Amino acid sequence: LAYLENFPGQPGAATLRQLAAALRTTSATLLGAGHEASPGYDPGSACWGSVGQLERLSQAECHQLLAPRGLGRIAFTAVFGLMVLPVNYAVAGGTIVIRVGSGSLIAGHSDGPVSFEADHFGLELGQGWSVLVHGDAHRVLQPDELRHLRAHYDLRPWPSGEHDLFVRIVPTQLTGRRIRSQ
């Protein structure tokens, strides 16, 4: 597999079948079939439709999974209903920190109750985790705190434009789950 990733070519049908069997997937999936589908749906995956073992994560495990930073989703109630939006995040002092534009939808709801979720799923192996944070969001306004965040947390949101507002989510509840295929 490492060889094929580093030196792409056109392996024969027999090689593809052997590789797919070793990875518990299909040849079509290896060739990119279904790449337009939602990431949660992979009928060729070994874990699709199988029964998985679900375990609750401790708070320490939840913190450990969130710590490397990455991509998550923030959820809040807006005038027109529940909103869930993707955000880049970092963990700072046990809180979640995101960076947004001051005129954004998130900025308009950055002082109040929110939920935040981050996860990772490996459909090929039939395993993954999800951590859910409930808490209160607050705009970061203190100059010393803003300097600290800018100096130590390289948050670069994907969308272009000005992202001049840091928002901190202070957890009031932290839960997580891990699933493994059997």
Beta bridge partners of 74: 85, 116
Q: What is the pLDDT of residues 135-170, one digit of tens each?
A: 999 999 999 999 999 888 888 777 777 788 999 999
- How many other CB atoms sit within 10 Å of the CB of residue 127? 16
pLDDT digits (tens, 9 = 90+) for 7-57: 556 667 777 677 777 777 776 676 665 555 555 555 555 444 555 788 999
pLDDT tens per residue, range 125-134: 678 899 999 9
Q: Exposed, middle or buried: residue 19 (CB in 10 Å: 0-12, 13-18, 19+)?
A: middle
